[in-house]
Structure 1
Amino acid sequence: MNSPLLALWFLLFAPFLYAWRRIKQVRRQQRQNRTKLLDELGVTLADAHRKRVVGFFHPYCNAGGGGERVLWTAIEHMQRTERDVVCAVYSGDTDATKASIIEKVKARFDISLAPDSLAFVFLNSRHLVEDSTWPRFTLLGQSLGSMYMAWEAMGKLIPDLFIDTMGYAFTFHVVRWIGRVPIGAYVHYPTISTDMLARVRARQRWHTNADTISASRVLSLGKVLYYRIFMYHYSRSLRLASFVMVNSSWTKNHVDAILRHSDPLLDALHTLPPWSLLNWISPANADSPRDARIVYPPCDTREVAQFPLQGRERVILSLAQFRPEKDHAAQLHAFSILLDAHPEFKSSGASPIRLVLVGSSRNAEDAARVDSLRALATALDIADQVEFVLNAPFATVLHWLSRASVGLSTMVDEHFGINVVEFMAAGVIPVTHASGGPLNDIVVPFNGEPTGYHATTPESFAEALYSAFTLAPEQELAMRERARTWAVQRFSEEEFEKGWDASGWRTWLEAGS
Structure 2
Amino acid sequence: MASLASPAFGLLWPIILQSLLLLPFFWIFLRVYSWHLRSSNYGRRSVMLAELGYSSKDRKRVIGFFHPYCNAGGGGERVLWTAIAAMQRTNPDAISAVYSGDTDATKAEIMSKVKARFDISLDPKLIHLVFLKSRWLVEDSTWPRFTLFGQSLGSMYLAWEAMSKLIPDLYIDTMGYAFTFHVVSQLGQIPIGAYVHYPTISSNMLERVKSRKTGHTNSGAISSSLILSHLKLLYYRFFMHHYVLSLRTASFIMVNSSWTKGHIDSILQHSDILMNAIHLLPPLLAIKFFSSDHAPARARIVYPPCDTREMSLFALIPRSRTILSVAQFRPEKDHRAQLNIFHRLLELHPEYTQDAEEPVRLVLVGGSRNEGDAQRILELRGLAKELGIDAYVDFIVNASYPAVLDWLSKASIGLSTMVDEHFGINVVEFLAAGVIPVAHASGGPLKDIIVPFNGERTGFHASTLDEFAEAIHTVLSLSPEAEQAMRLRARTWAVQRFSEEEFERGWNESGWRSWVSQ
Query: How high is the TM-score relative to the length of structure 1?
Result: 0.95
> Contact 1:91/1:121 (CA < 8 Å) preserved in 2?
yes
Residue 274 of structure 1 deviates from its aligned partner by: 2.1
Q: Which residue of 2 aligns with 1:277?
A: 286
Structure 1 stretch displaced more, 199-208 or 407-416: 199-208
Q: 483, 490, 510: which is aligned to 1:503?
A: 510
Q: Which residue of 2 aligns with 1:141?
A: 150
SS at match of 1:90: strand
Residue 44 of structure 2 is aligned to residue 26 of structure 1: no
Q: Unpaired segments of 5 or more residues in structure 1?
A: none
Q: Which residue of 2 aligns with 1:338?
A: 345
Q: Which residue of 2 aligns with 1:115?
A: 124
Q: 75, 91, 94: which is aligned to 1:85?
A: 94
State the distance in 2 between where 1:151 and 1:409 align. 37
Per-residue Cα deviation, 1:118-149 (whole angstroms, up to 9, x for no partner) = 00100011000000000000000000000000
State the distance in 1 between where 2:20 and 2:201 align. 35
One-letter amino acid of the structure 2 residue matched with residue 229 of structure 1: F
Where do 1:40-439 residues align within 5 Å? 40-47=51-58, 50-285=59-294, 288-346=295-353, 348-439=355-446
**1:405–1:504 Cα change, 3 Å:** same
State the distance in 2 between where 1:332 and 1:418 align. 21
**1:87–1:200 Cα change, 3 Å:** same
State the distance in 2 between where 1:187 and 1:7 align. 39
SS at match of 1:55: strand
Q: Unpaired segments of 5 or more residues in structure 2?
A: 1-14
> Contact 1:344/1:351 (CA < 8 Å) preserved in 2?
no
One-letter amino acid of the structure 2 residue matched with residue 144 of structure 1: L
> Contact 2:23/2:286 (CA < 8 Å) preserved in 1?
no
Per-residue Cα deviation, 1:175-219 (whole angstroms, up to 9, x for no partner) = 000000000000000000111111111111111111111111110
Residue 351 of structure 1 deviates from its aligned partner by: 4.5
State the distance in 1 between where 2:513 and 2:36 align. 29
> Contact 2:159/2:180 (CA < 8 Å) preserved in 1?
yes
Q: Which residue of 1 aligns with 2:5?
A: none
Q: In percent, how many aligned pairs have the same letter?
A: 64
One-letter amino acid of the structure 2 residue matched with residue 312 of structure 1: R
> Contact 1:127/1:133 (CA < 8 Å) preserved in 2?
yes
The alignment of Structure 1 onto Structure 2 pairs a total of residues equal to 505
> Contact 1:347/1:353 (CA < 8 Å) preserved in 2?
no
Per-residue Cα deviation, 1:53-109 (whole angstroms, up to 9, x for no partner) = 000000000000000000000000001111210000000001011000000000000
State the distance in 1 between where 2:47 and 2:88 align. 20
Residue 387 of structure 1 deviates from its aligned partner by: 0.3
One-letter amino acid of the structure 2 residue matched with residue 221 of structure 1: H
> Contact 2:175/2:196 (CA < 8 Å) preserved in 1?
yes
Per-residue Cα deviation, 1:263-307 (whole angstroms, up to 9, x for no partner) = 12222333332222123322324xx32410000000110001000
State the distance in 2 between where 1:201 and 1:6 align. 36
> Contact 1:343/1:349 (CA < 8 Å) preserved in 2?
no
> Contact 1:256/1:290 (CA < 8 Å) preserved in 2?
no
Query: How high is the TM-score relative to the length of structure 2?
Result: 0.94
State the distance in 1 between where 2:477 and 2:498 align. 28
SS at match of 1:46: coil
> Contact 2:19/2:282 (CA < 8 Å) preserved in 1?
no
